[in-house]
Amino acid sequence: MLSQNIIHVTDEDFADKVLNADGPVLVDFWAEWCGPCRMIAPALDELAEEFDGQITIAKMDVDSSPKTPQTFSVRGIPTLMVFQGGNVQGTKVGGATKGDLKNFIAQHV
């Protein structure tokens, strides 16, 4: 079950929901078959609540929306990118602990 605080983005609405967002947006590029992606999902759910109002957390399925990951040179998943003002502010690739994810997000809010 996904957190109420996590949004889903696609190639079609990425610019609207991420690039043109008012505040920072963390995008989790993931896929259903990716073990490390599934492992960090609960931590992202919790962090979406902890950082509610400070950063938006979005998930993008790289299988159903392949254009955007290609545009931002996503090579492996999970790849987490923080966008602000339409630009990438930070990137983290691979699995991580909740503490690692929290520190990564905290650097960008």
Q: For 48-100, how does the pLDDT look when each residue is reduced to its tens digit (9 = 90+)?
A: 999 999 999 999 999 999 999 999 999 999 999 999 999 999 999 999 999 99
Active site residue 37: yes
First to last CA, the chain: 26
CATH of domain 6-107: 3.40.30.10
Point out the catalytic residue in the list 34, 55, 57, 101: 34
Neighbours of 71 (CB within 10 A): 10
d(Cα 27, Cα 93) in Å, to the nearest integer? 12
Domain boundaries in the chain? 6-107
Residue 85 · residue 21 · CB < 8 Å: no
Active site residue 69: no
Point out the catalytic residue in the list 9, 25, 37, 96: 37
